[in-house]
Chain A
Amino acid sequence: MRVTQGAFSFLPDLTDEQIAKQAQYCIDNGWAVSLEFTDDPHPRNTYWDMWAHPMFDNPDAAALMMELRECRKVYGERYIRFVAFDNSHGWESVKLSFLVNRPAEEPGFHLARQEAGGRVVRYTTRAYAADKPAGQRYG
């Protein structure tokens, strides 16, 4: 099952050239771009690991693409996302984020139902990959 998270996720995966152009757009807006990776694809997982530092003073997207190549070399079998952070007063939050790398195989999610009191049913999702310990989930 293809994980759809962040912007552009219902489009075909962006090519490197397209990623570079998006990154350049963000940099030109004065946003700090960076990369994050994880092997826990749950949609509510907000704690992704950072790859290197956010780039506050690099004027060109080539810097990000260099880091992305490095990150793919190490964590090519995990989810990697691009993050653009706007530090201007009043925003101080992520303005754009999208996936730039995904594992070759995405097993998807298990939907679990819990019968609660009365006729109430509670739903929860759990990634099949999360059955294995962190670091051994893909590839």
Chain B
Amino acid sequence: MADTAVQELPAEDRIAAAPAAVDLRAEYVESGVKDVLDELDRELIGLKPVKQRIKETAALLLVERARRRMGLAHETPTLHMSFSGNPGTGKTTVALRMADLLHRLGYIRKGHLVSVTRDDLVGQYIGHTAPKTKEILKKAMGGVLFIDEAYYLHRQENERDYGQEAIEILLQVMENQRDDLVVILAGYADRMDKFFESNPGFRSRIAHHIDFPDYGDDELLSIAETMLSKQNYHFDDEARAIMADYITLRRQQPHFANARSIRNALDRARLRQANRLFESSDGPIDSRALSTITAPDIRVSRVFAMSRQEE
């Protein structure tokens, strides 16, 4: 079909709209990038290097946008990213913020995040994978496709694995439809490295690699307090000290998942608190008692029992 009209229009736009100078500070505030970054700073504890990288990326995109308006740059920069880090270090949360950021800067049209794993992309039998992957890609158009534990797509031991087909489709869309969607791959650092080694196509198509460090003990404690206060609970002093011990011990045990472990521990503490209140109460309870997590609620945790056994 005739597409001459398409090519004429933007050229006219460019000439009419090209400004002589750009105030980056004003753009930074107006585009809402400042709001997103401030929110990121406020709501996420720790993660200094991640925040720094995101700030740098935001600056790059802001400048790139200004250059595009002045007619200095024409191509969409590669925005695909990889987030590597241990579980529970905030990769999904940051991806959500990233989608918001890219949307406000106008690099993606809708700003939604579609979060998937291998099961959503790879089919069960021959001919099942391509439509499945395409459905997901279509759903993610105009937004961000977040592939958690991306290395499961590639199974080295089985070269007839359907994951390879999904990878090929992904690579093709990542290359040809850079205007339409941004792909973020996430997973453990060492396995991601291996994944990129065996799939050089991905490495070269991903511009931003961001490493998520583990949280420190004090950071995890303040995360715990933030989580509780969001649900209108709080620690008493003794419980806070016990929680600090808990974090130290929990870290040494297997399957430690940073903030996710903390969330699970708090869920169990709330369960025990409810039980304790229910069994010990004989009379009215005030709101203070209802929202205080005390030391016994945490101390009975399996984590303490296991560390005693080891001694």
Contact = CB atoms under 8 A, between A and B. Distances in A.
A105 interface: no
Interface stretch (A8-16, A40-48, A112-120, A121-129): A8-16
Contacts of B135: 53
A13 B2 contact: yes
Contacts of A62: 109, 141-142, 177, 179-181
Given A57-B139, A62-B142, A16 B181 contact: no
Contacts of B139: 57-59, 63
B280 to A, nearest CB: 49
B10 to A, nearest CB: 9
Given A62-B180, A66-B177, A55 B138 contact: yes
B177 A12 contact: no
A92 interface: no
Given A59-B110, A60-B110, A66-B177, A14 B141 contact: no
Contact of A58 (B6, B141, B173, B177): B141
A15 B3 contact: yes
B5 interface: yes
A60 B180 contact: yes
B1 interface: yes
B138 A16 contact: no
B143 A60 contact: yes
B2 A59 contact: no
B6 A59 contact: no
Contacts of B6: 15-17
B140 to A, nearest CB: 9
A63 B141 contact: yes
Interface in B163-220: 173, 177, 179-181
B142 A15 contact: no
A15 B134 CA distance: 24
A31 to B, nearest CB: 16
A57 B177 CA distance: 19
Contacts of A58: 138-139, 141
Contact of A66 (B2, B5, B138): B138
Nearest to A66: B138
Contact of A59 (B1, B142, B173, B179): B142
Contacts of A59: 110, 112, 139, 141-143
B138 A63 contact: yes
